[in-house]
């Protein structure tokens, strides 16, 4: 499925009766709208600007056009007082989230110059150019009474970084919602037996995020491995040497197994045009399948690093969380609690299997493991820590009410000793302290997996939740 580009609708509103009364007002407000359009275009180029809507007839036409254009998000710029009847038909027909922009052209009116004007008609026209806040309560009232969810931003047209940072975050959140709506998630294998917390309702995933879920047999990946050539294996081993810090105790036989599976994985991803994947397969009793699954970690780590996040243990909800994080540009590595370090007041977190090597602190090591704990087989694994600095944790949570929720926490990845066991693992410090963080996080009933990415992006995730109409809880 090829994702279409995100489209953003923009229109300004005004009152048609003003134009004959106040010379130059319409042109001035259209100039303000051009400023908004240009600034939005700098954030995201695909803007559908409908201009200034000033009566109900234009509103109906505008709503129809936005629906035809299939916009994903609307910015409604309130330039001056306008009737709510010039707004409602547009939003009702477009049926997408709407952001109300209450933006003043300047920090304040120049009261001294204003009050020195001798023509009260011109004075009123000048005031109306600053009157963006006037109709926002009216619009809010009508939206609430007609069941339309909306979000508002109050600030200034220029010289207001806080305002425009918020607008940028809404656009970024809309981009991620759009990515999820078109994402193809591959589910290969089956659940890890007994992990009741990770079992997911796939239809609920569709209902919440959209996209497509492809159920894939491990046998297909094993079959693709048979087609991999010696030349492809040699080339992939060279890639391993460039990307990873391959340890000296990794045998050529294991590197060849991993390279063969990695090439086959790429072919599988291309075949189904996957944007993410969840996998697990016990593999016992079938040599080809076991050989495939036990050599999958390096290939899945490479996929994750190039924007196709892969979650182990068939954790579908966490594959979604990882895709969200990666779509925000934060990465999104598969993780769970490893241990508590009360002496340093940190939580050790990581996981066996693939890691997001693009957000690693230094080069990711490849180590041979004689046993995959709790799983069949042996082979090569990756050992990495997430880059030191700010991080965000995200979990897609199944609630008892049958709905999904996003659970978020911001913390820091800090330097210090980690477990050199051939897994991903890091040390995380939280403003609540390790003890309270763990208690609070667990109280919301997440699965034991989550996604971790670099940077503090809770405010962006909160906006994504509002666009998707799902709850977002921030622990810290």
In a domain, 340, yes or no: yes
3-state secondary structure 105-153: CCCCCCHHHHHCCCCHHHHHHHHHCCCCCCCHHHHHHHHHHCCCCEEEE
Final residue in a domain of this structure, among 129, 150, 172: 172
Of 196, 204, 200, the C-alpha closest to 187 is 200
Q: Report the number of distinct structural domains present in the chain.
A: 2
Same domain, 162 and 254: no
Final residue in a domain of this structure, among 109, 144, 172: 172
Same domain, 27 and 160: yes
In a domain, 24, yes or no: yes
CATH number at residue 192: 3.20.14
Same domain, 84 and 218: no
In a domain, 317, yes or no: yes
Tally of CB atoms within 10 A around 2: 5
In a domain, 2, yes or no: no
Q: Determine the structural domain holding residue 69 and report its residue range.
A: 8-172
Same domain, 396 and 296: yes
Same domain, 135 and 17: yes
In a domain, 178, yes or no: no
In a domain, 1, yes or no: no
pTM: 0.94
Residues 6+ apart with CB under 8 A from 281: 188, 189, 190, 218, 289, 293
Of 170, 173, 181, 177, the C-alpha closest to 3 is 181
pLDDT average, residue stretch 60-85: 96
Rounded CA-CA distance 389/129 in Å is 45
Final residue in a domain of this structure, among 172, 195, 225: 172
Rounded CA-CA distance 274/262 in Å is 15
Same domain, 122 and 249: no
Specify the pLDDT at position 4. 66
Same domain, 268 and 343: yes
Q: Are strands 424-429 and 379-383 parallel, antiparallel or unpaired?
A: unpaired
Alpha helices in 191-229 (DSSP H): 202-209, 218-225
**Over the stretch 216-236, which tens digit does the pLDDT of each residue have?**
999 999 999 999 999 999 999
Same domain, 55 and 194: no
CATH number at residue 133: 3.40.50.10940
**Over the stretch 130-167, which tens digit does the pLDDT of each residue have?**
999 999 999 999 999 999 999 999 999 999 999 999 99
In a domain, 381, yes or no: yes
Same domain, 58 and 99: yes
Same domain, 235 and 107: no
Rounded CA-CA distance 372/72 in Å is 44
Question: Over the chain, what is the mean pLDDT?
Answer: 94
Specify the pLDDT at position 52. 97
| 291 has pLDDT over 70 | yes
Same domain, 153 and 98: yes
pLDDT average, residue stretch 367-376: 73
In a domain, 43, yes or no: yes
Specify the pLDDT at position 2. 43
Same domain, 198 and 163: no
């Amino acid at each position: 499925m090829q994702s279409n580009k995100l489209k953003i609708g923009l229109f300004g509103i005004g009152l048609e009766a003003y134009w004959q009364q106040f010379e130059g007002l319409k042109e001035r407000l259209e100039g303000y709208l051009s400023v908004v359009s240009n600034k939005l275009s700098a954030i995201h180029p695909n803007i559908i600007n409908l201009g200034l809507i000033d009566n109900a007839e234009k509103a109906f036409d505008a709503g129809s056009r936005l629906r035809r254009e299939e916009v994903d998000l609307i910015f409604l710029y309130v330039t001056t007082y306008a009737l709510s009847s010039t707004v409602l038909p547009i939003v009702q027909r477009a049926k997408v989230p709407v952001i109300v922009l209450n933006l003043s052209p300047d920090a304040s009116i120049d009261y001294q110059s204003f009050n020195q004007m001798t023509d009260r008609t011109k004075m009123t026209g000048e005031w109306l150019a600053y009157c963006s806040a006037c109709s926002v309560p009216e619009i809010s009232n009508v939206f609430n009474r007609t069941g339309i969810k909306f979000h508002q931003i109050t600030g200034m047209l220029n010289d207001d970084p806080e305002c425009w940072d918020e607008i940028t975050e809404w656009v970024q959140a809309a981009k991620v919602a759009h990515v999820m709506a078109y994402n193809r998630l591959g589910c290969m294998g089956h659940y890890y037996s007994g992990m009741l917390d990770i079992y997911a309702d796939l239809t609920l995933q569709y209902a919440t995020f959209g996209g497509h879920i492809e159920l894939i047999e491990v046998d297909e990946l094993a079959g693709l491995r048979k087609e991999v050539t010696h030349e492809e294996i040699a080339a992939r081993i060279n890639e391993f040497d460039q990307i990873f810090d391959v340890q000296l105790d990794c045998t050529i036989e294991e590197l060849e197994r991993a390279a063969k599976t990695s090439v086959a994985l790429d072919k599988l991803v291309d075949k189904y045009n996957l944007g993410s994947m969840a996998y697990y397969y016990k593999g016992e009793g079938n040599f080809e399948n076991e050989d495939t699954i036990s050599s999958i970690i390096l290939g899945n780590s490479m996929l994750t690093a190039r924007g196709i996040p892969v979650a182990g243990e068939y954790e579908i909800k966490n594959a979604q969380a990882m895709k969200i994080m990666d779509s925000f540009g934060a990465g999104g590595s598969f993780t769970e609690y490893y241990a508590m370090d009360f002496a340093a007041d940190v939580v050790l977190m990581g996981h066996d299997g693939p890691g997001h090597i693009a957000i690693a602190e230094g080069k990711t090591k490849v180590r041979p493991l004689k046993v995959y704990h709790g799983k069949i087989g042996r082979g090569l694994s990756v050992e990495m820590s997430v880059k030191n600095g700010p991080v965000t944790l995200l979990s897609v949570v199944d609630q008892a009410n049958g709905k999904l929720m996003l659970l978020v926490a911001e913390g820091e990845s800090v330097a210090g000793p980690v477990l050199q066991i051939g897994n991903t693992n890091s040390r995380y410090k939280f403003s609540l302290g390790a003890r309270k963080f763990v208690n609070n996080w667990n109280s919301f009933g997440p699965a034991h997996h989550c996604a971790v990415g670099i940077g503090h992006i809770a405010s962006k995730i909160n906006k994504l939740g509002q666009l998707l109409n799902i709850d977002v809880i921030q622990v810290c």
